[in-house]
Amino acid sequence: MADKMKPEAEIKPGGVTIADNVVAKIAHQACRDIEGVHAMGGATSRALSSLASSVRGGESRTQGVSVDVRDDVVDIDITIVVDYGVNISSVGETCRAAVQEKVEGVTGLKVRAVNVVVSDIHFPEDTAGKSGPQA
């Protein structure tokens, strides 16, 4: 009886996986750099982040960003607060374009969608006269 030859195992070089939180941090930073974006996230997430950051000692770098990566394609949801007086549509579109450009450029992933939700508007008098956190 002839010896059966075993087929050689296919050699694969490995791969690179980019975690969702890495993409979220890149998207967060891209929006923070845009004039007219006052804060990231809705009121509830900002309040919870403020509470958590006092415990951890830092600001969340993914607040207001939700990411779904599947098969090298990513969908990103961004929630922002804009400054009063800016063109909200323009700021939202600038944020959307900046996130897409930065995420694709840094990660090599294909961005299928960036959805921007403007959850609030910041008026200058909202912080005027406040000297710090209140008990």
Q: All domains of the chain, ordered by start, with CATH?
A: 20-124 (3.30.70.1350)
Count of C-beta atoms within a 10 Å radius of residue 20 = 15
Helices (H) and strands (E) in the chain, counts: 3, 4
Between CA 86 and CA 104 the distance in angstroms is 27
Would you write out the chain's pLDDT as a tens digit for each of its 135 residues? 555 666 676 777 888 889 999 999 999 999 998 999 999 997 654 444 444 444 444 456 789 999 999 988 999 999 999 999 999 999 999 999 999 999 999 999 999 999 999 999 999 887 655 544 443
Please count the other Cβ atoms lying within 10 Å of the Cβ belonging to residue 7: 6
Contact 76, 84 (CB under 8 A): no
Phi and psi at 14, nearest 5°, equal 100, -165
End-to-end CA separation in angstroms for the chain? 86
CA 40 – CA 134 distance, rounded (Å): 21
